[in-house]
Amino acid sequence: MTVRQADFLMAIATILMSLGLMWSSTDGLAIGWVSGKGPGSGFWPFWLAVGMLLCSLATLVRWFLRHTPESRSTEIYMSRSAVVVVGTSVGALIALLVGIHIVGTYFALLAFLLFYLKVIGRHEWPLTVMLVGGIPVFIFSLFEWALQIPLPKALTEEWFYPVFDIMYETDYFWMYILGSFLFLGAVSLALHKFLPGQDR
Amino acid sequence: METILISLAGGLLQAFEPLNLMMIVLGCTVGLFVGAMPGLGSVNGVAILLPITFLVPPTAAIIFLAAVYYGAMYGGAISSITLGIPGASTAVATVFDGRPLAMAGKADQALTAAAIASFIGGTISVVLFTLFAPPLADFALKFGPPEEFALMVLAFATFIGLGGDDIPKTIFSILIGLVLAAVGLDIISGKPRLIFFDASGFLHGVNFLVLAIGIYGIGEMLWTLETTGGKVIVHKVKMSVAGFMANIRSVRTYIKSTSLGSVLGYFVGTLPAAGATPASLMSYGLAKTFSRDPDSFGKGNIAGVAAPEAANNAASTGSMLPMITLGIPGSPTTAILLGGMIIWGLRPGPLLFTERPDFVWGLIGSLYVANLFTVLINLAFIPVFVRVLTLPFTVLAPVIFVLCIVGGYAPTQTMHDVWLMLLFGVMGYLMRKLNYPVAPAVLAIVLGPLAERSLRQSLLSSQGDVLIFVERPISATCIALAAALMLYPLFLAWRRRREAAAGDSGSHPGASG
Amino acid sequence: MPTLRKFLVGTAFALGALSVSLVGPAHADWKPRKPVEFIIMAGTGGGADQIARLLQGLIEKKDLSPRPFIPINKPGGSGAEALLYLKDKAGDDHTVLVTLNSFYTTPIIQTDLGVDISTFTPIGRMALDTFLLWVHADNTEITDLDSYVAAVKAAGTEWKVGGTGSGQEDSILTAMMESEFGYEVTYIPFPGGGTVAKNLIGKHIDSTVNNPAEQNEFYRAGQSKPLVQFTPERMAAYPDIPTAQELGHDIVYFMQRSINGPPGMSAEARAWYIDLFKTLFDSEEWQTFCVEDGLTCDEWVAGDDLAAFHAEQGMRHRELIESVGAEAITGE
């Protein structure tokens, strides 16, 4: 697909988007000027969406007239390698979100990081182990412990009960967190020593 | 005047009491790091620390919370610059130039500029706060819906020229931001609007951070992945004392826009409805409009980092004013601070200044001290933050993705918003490749709700008569200023064309909309 | 409303005994295993938010719960989002909701929401908030309700009443006054009661029905004045201000602040929460807060009594909304 074709498709997409927004704005809302009260509740979104439609039509006209650089460009919109690189990342992110709904944030993060660092990044094991273990521990200690923002845990909810027991019923939880980081560091150092990486 | 100085001296002495000083240092540090996380801002830091403050006296507690607030304002710039993700809505404008500077290996310059500008903004606004608090509180009262709407028009006018060179696509971007801002419950009619697919997640509207993290976090990462092909990119960053001193000295290159931004930020911040985000955006817009070299903005102009940072710090001080004198929070963070004050039995209102001077002046004194400590702590950590950029991209990318996901979840704590963020990220990436500018949409979603609400409130009170906006002196002034700002680029283009009339007359008439 | 009043007074004594029997020591076996989500059906800074954060702080300070309470704001759709969230959390023992009156009105006004609040698990009522009618202190010709009504009638729809949004408590009260006195005003919504109060002081609107906490500081500073209170009896803080009932107008309106669990919360958990919030209700800090904030915290209503209270209030709101017409509240 060339940039010119993509520009045309995007203009069509924005036209459809504008029409969809216009249609949503009329759903039970007054899009007109209510006498003595000013604009109705649908006025703002509806007429702005009309503006979006006009802009999209202008883009389309300029596309036909070849006024913009994009409408003249015959370069490839996304090269095959770009599709692969971006596609795997987006795919991995979608899998991560689906995973959060099923196995909860922390285990989904584990899988995502493992995939990203080892399969895409091809990093050596020590670094991978360090980050795959360290980032969820860091996120947990920051969100659940320090900021008290519970992240979704879905099916693994009850697995965390013992962690909460330690967290709230001992006064030294920070030592566990520190310990886990030190442990991960030690493991990765050890692995690094015995399994020298490729790209160092 | 004399009484002010005496009260201020008392307040400063109070700030230097060991407990209060400890609170300031701790608060600044916590705020700095919480603010540096994408999606987490001062509101998170303040909210979580609120219960802890039951253990200390109210003055120490508010000092602590104010220090967190201040620290987070500084911290927001850090993720904007190093990761390209605005840590909070107040730091969006910092991304525009901070990110290009970081990509060019000048992250240390940008971070230093942000810290120094924040310090200048904080200092100027605290001085203004000390001198003009009571008269400004009266001025804030004069700001009704028509004035708010006029201010929004003025804010939009300062963005002229922020868009790309493709006018229909720029306007499209503004409009889609404004429409997204209308999603959720319409408070005027009490009706839910644009609840797509009946998803309950749309009831709370489209959170600004969802769009900003989507576009700047995920979208930017995808863009970088494509341009680098997923290969390892490592920025080389040299840090030296001499370089650091040079960065400090370069303050003269942006002192003008910084001072302007500070004063502007303070005044906008004192208005109950506005707050720090519009202030930082307006400051950026003004810095660009009046710059000698407006085209370098958005490509890595140091003044483009300094101006919004000065303004958002100034505005955060400013927004303490309506909180203290009117009991109205200018931002979610001040809302929680306000809740804290009420819990401690301090009733914000017009009498607080006279009835509890120890508290008010203690707070003001601590703002001076907190500002100083935050800039020192921030400058000390810059080498650490800069090192983030030296990580290989295949390490940085997943870490940033993870921070985006949890950062998108944190503000509303719904997975709905995380999915929406991913969608915005992919859409933003695809559209950006076709020269659709994304910044206008992000700006519009911040100002959209305020603009629509104040417009409809004004028209309700004037029975639908639009002349209300020009009949009132303050709003008429704002509208006139807005008109002048909109015409200014045209004037410049006209002058440029006249000057160039002798030479090549085929030049493009500027990038304005 | 006499029924409400009778209910309040009549149950006052019976309740004490009931709640004591409810919070016996039989349920020491349940306690939270993870942090409790403390859902607030309004945004940061409002009354419900302040209450939640105060309670959270008190729980922490007094070490009343082995796990912390985490306030989460879900203001979307006048609380609709919070109600839907709680409905989806059916059977969950680690989620509680702090309510205001949109707990009743939102399911009535947003008919397709599909939330039945009677399925929720009532825990305890922490306070009743009250409303007064306020005008700017400079309005010297308005001194009482009669002169107010006369002024409003003279101004017609040019009279501007500020409020916190169509469908909110003050819009219902405004609609009640419109039908009682036979006038029509322009209702202008603002985000939050504090902003409403500020706009009255700045003379951008002509009158408000604010809570005491929102206007009290301006009142003390001599910038605003209350004309009438909408309580059954005069509040201690406003001994000189007549109630609407005294003046022969049957307008009584409360806002309840209560704690509720999702549908199907286990009995043990419910008993634990009732016990917890009873302790908080009785604490010195809470009672002091009530006095300072102009809240009425005389009696503790918990469990099934709260369910009866909710049913009664729900009915009353349905009647109110039907009598003034949902259009009068949400209409355009």
Least confidently predicted of B213-217, B331-335, C88-92, C218-222:
B331-335
Q: Let me know whether C125 and C25 are in one domain.
A: yes
Can you give the pLDDT at residue B513? Answer: 35
Q: Please name the residues between 33 and 72 in chain A that touch chain C, using a CB distance below 8 Å.
A: 34, 36-37, 40-41
- Tokens coding B357: 């001077």
How many CB atoms are closer than 10 A to CB C268?
15
CA–CA separation, B264 and B275 (whole Å): 11
Query: Per the domain annotation, does B513 fall within a domain?
Result: no
pLDDT band for position B511 (cuts 50, 70, 90):
very low
Q: What are phi and psi of C251, to 5 degrees?
A: -120, 105
Residue B509 has pLDDT above 50, yes or no: no
Question: Residue B499 falls within a domain, yes or no?
Answer: no
Q: Does the distance separating the beta carbons of B463 and A121 come in below 8 Å?
A: no
- DSSP structure string for A121-147: S---HHHHHHHHHHHHHHHHIIIIIII
Q: Are residues C68 and A148, on separate chains, in Cβ contact within 8 Å?
A: yes
> Quick one: pLDDT at residue C8?
43
Per-residue pLDDT at C16 exceeds 50: no
A66 torsion bin: left (phi>0), alpha (psi -120 to 50), beta (else)? left
Which pLDDT does position B191 carry in this prediction? Answer: 79
Higher pLDDT, B15 or A3: A3
Q: Which residues of B touch A117 (CB under 8 A)?
A: 394-395, 398
Residue C215 sits in a domain whose CATH number is 3.40.190.10
Q: Which helix (H) or strand (E) holds A74?
A: none
Q: What kind and span of H or E run contains B186? A: strand B184-186
Task: Closest CB to A100: pick one of B186, B229, B415.
Answer: B415
CB-CB neighbors (< 8 A) of A41 in chain C: 332
pLDDT of res. A16? 95
Mean pLDDT of B346-362: 83
- pLDDT tens string C224-270: 999 999 988 888 888 899 999 999 998 989 889 999 999 999 999 99
What is the structure's pLDDT at B161? Answer: 64
Neighbors of chain A with 3 or more C-beta pairs under 8 Å: B, C
> What pLDDT score does C43 carry?
77
Chain C residue closest in CA terms to A43? C332
pTM, two decimals, is 0.86
CA distance C180 to C248: 11
Work out the pLDDT band at B229, boundaries 50, 70, 90. Answer: low
A positions 143-172 inside 8 Å of B (CB): 143, 146-152
pLDDT the model gives residue C4 = 46
**So what's the pLDDT on residue A200?**
38
Q: Which residues of B touch C168 (CB under 8 A)?
A: 190
pLDDT exceeds 90 at position A129: no
For residue B466, the enclosing domain spans 2-489
Q: For B139-160, how does the pLDDT look when each residue is reduced to its tens digit (9 = 90+)?
A: 888 888 999 899 888 888 887 6
- pLDDT over 60 (residue B206): yes
Which among C34, C68, C332 has the least Cβ separation from residue A34?
A: C332
Neighbours of chain B (3+ CB pairs under 8 A): A, C
pLDDT for residue C19:
41
Q: Is the per-residue pLDDT at C28 higher than 60?
A: no
Counting the structural domains of chain C, the total is 2
Q: pLDDT of B37-89, one tens digit each?
A: 887 877 777 777 776 667 778 788 878 888 888 888 888 888 888 888 887 77
Distance CA C208, CA C215 (A): 10
Same domain, C63 and C125: yes
Q: Do B168 and A90 touch (CB under 8 A)?
A: no
Q: Are residues C156 and C21 in the same domain?
A: no
C156 lies in some domain: yes
Q: How far is C158 from chain A (nearest CA, A)?
A: 10
- Dihedral angle of Cα A98, A101, A103, A106, to the nearest 10 degrees: 90
Percent of chain C exceeding pLDDT 90 equals 36
Structural domain harbouring C187: 132-229
Site from C41, C60, C70, C73 to mutate, B interface, most B CB atoms within 10 angstroms: C73
Q: Tell me the mean pLDDT in the region B85-94.
A: 81
Taking CB atoms and an 8 Å cutoff, what residues of chain C touch B322?
198
Is pLDDT above 50 for C6? no
Average pLDDT over residues B377-405: 85
Q: What's the pLDDT at C151?
A: 93
* DSSP calls for A80-127: HHHHHHHHHHHHHHHHHHHHHHHHHHHHHHHHHHHIIIIIIS---HHH
CA–CA distance, B288 with B292 (Å, rounded to integer): 8
* Residue, of B417 and C29, whose pLDDT is higher: B417
| C52 and C110 together in one domain | yes
Average pLDDT of span A102-129: 90
Percent of chain B with pLDDT over 70: 93
Chain A residue numbers with beta carbons less than 8 Å from the beta carbon of B33 are none
Place of tokens 């409905």: C87
**Is B406's CB within 8 Å of A51's CB?**
no
Does position B320 have pLDDT exceeding 90, yes or no? no
The yes-or-no verdict on residue C108 having pLDDT over 70 is: yes
Judgement on whether residues C113 and C28 belong to the same structural domain of the protein: yes
Instruction: Pick from B56-65, B377-386, B435-444, C197-206 the range whose average pLDDT is largest.
Output: C197-206
Report, as an integer, the average pLDDT of C90-105: 91
Give the contacts of B292 (CB within 8 A, at least 6 positions apart): none
* Residues A183-187, mean pLDDT to the nearest whole number: 74
Give the tens place of pLDDT for each residue, A9-35.
Answer: 999 999 999 999 999 888 777 888 877
Distance, in Å, from the CA atom of B186 to the CA atom of C332, rounded to the nearest integer, reads: 11
The whole-number pLDDT of residue A191 equals: 65
Give the pLDDT mean for C275-295.
89
Prediction ipTM score: 0.90
Average pLDDT across chain B, whole number: 83
Rounded Cα distance between B393 and B399, Å, is 10
Q: Is B496 contained in some domain?
A: no
Please tell me whether residues C216 and C159 are part of one structural domain: yes
What whole-number distance in Å separates Cα of residue C304 and Cα of residue B266? 52
Q: Does B149 touch chain C (CB under 8 A)?
A: no
**A143 touching chain C per CB within 8 A:** no
Q: Residue C36 — pLDDT band, cuts 50, 70, 90?
A: very high
Nearest residue in A to B414, CA atom: A152
Query: In this predicted structure, what is the pLDDT of residue C3?
Result: 44
pLDDT attached to residue A192: 61
The winner for highest mean pLDDT among A190-194, B134-138, C15-19, C283-287 is C283-287
C30 and C108 together in one domain: yes
Q: Tell me the pLDDT tens digit for each residue of B194-205.
A: 888 888 888 888
C199 Cβ contact list (under 8 Å, min separation 6): B144, B145, C162, C190, C205
What pLDDT score does A73 carry? 85
If pLDDT is split at 50, 70 and 90, which confidence band does C13 have? very low
Q: A86, A131, A141: best mutation site toward chain B, by most B Cβ within 10 Å?
A: A86
Question: Residue C324 maps to which CATH number?
Answer: 3.40.190.150
DSSP per-residue string spanning A139-193: HHIIIIIII--PPP-GGGGGGGHHHHHHHHH-S-HHHHHHHHHHHHHHHHHHHHH
Per the structure, how many domains does chain B have? 1
Contact between B430 and A45 using a beta-carbon 8 Å cutoff: no
pLDDT bin (cut points 50, 70, 90) of residue C327 is low
